[in-house]
């Protein structure tokens, strides 16, 4: 049986009794940041060729707070009630860290997006997370070039 990545981690390293709703917004954003980064890195790597420095530059441009905020604004109307609540809790969470190269508004919106991605990941709903991210990347023109031509993918 083919398991999702999260289920494989749980089976290998042990399950948690916590449900996604029981994690703090910042904990959801913490895991969501890593999941989103991995999604974007995978897309960029699949472009092929290039050097690691080019992969990093392309990825950094997409995962920065300003770009995440644009993506979030593009998909906001697609969220259901629960997803919107998770996003808003993440956006409004008081973080000990602050934006380095972004406005506080973009940083908070990006944190909300990361919380949403984390929630969907922990809920075993990566298909939903990927559909939202794909739509957002396409609508904002952030989809790495090769993928703009493969929208049916």
Residues 69 and 106 sit within 8 Å (Cβ to Cβ): yes
CA 102 to CA 3: how far, in whole Å? 37
- Answer yes or no: 4 catalytic: no
Catalytic option among 33, 37, 46, 106 = 33
CA 79 to CA 9: how far, in whole Å? 27
* Residues annotated as catalytic (active site), given as ranges: 33
């Amino acid at each position: 049986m083919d398991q999702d990545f999260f289920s494989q981690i749980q089976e290998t390293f042990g399950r948690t009794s916590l449900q996604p709703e029981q994690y703090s917004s910042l904990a959801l954003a913490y895991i969501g940041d890593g999941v989103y980064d991995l999604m974007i890195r995978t897309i960029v790597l699949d472009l092929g060729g290039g050097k690691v420095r080019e992969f990093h530059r392309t990825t950094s441009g997409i995962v920065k707070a300003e770009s995440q905020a644009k993506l979030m604004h593009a998909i906001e109307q697609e969220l259901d009630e629960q997803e919107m609540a998770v996003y808003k809790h993440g956006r409004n969470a008081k973080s000990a860290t602050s934006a380095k190269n972004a406005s506080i508004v973009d940083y908070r919106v990006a944190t909300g997006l990361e919380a949403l991605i984390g929630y969907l990941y922990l809920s075993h709903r990566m298909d939903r997370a990927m559909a939202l991210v794909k739509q957002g990347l396409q609508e904002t023109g952030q989809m790495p070039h090769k993928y703009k031509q493969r929208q049916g993918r």
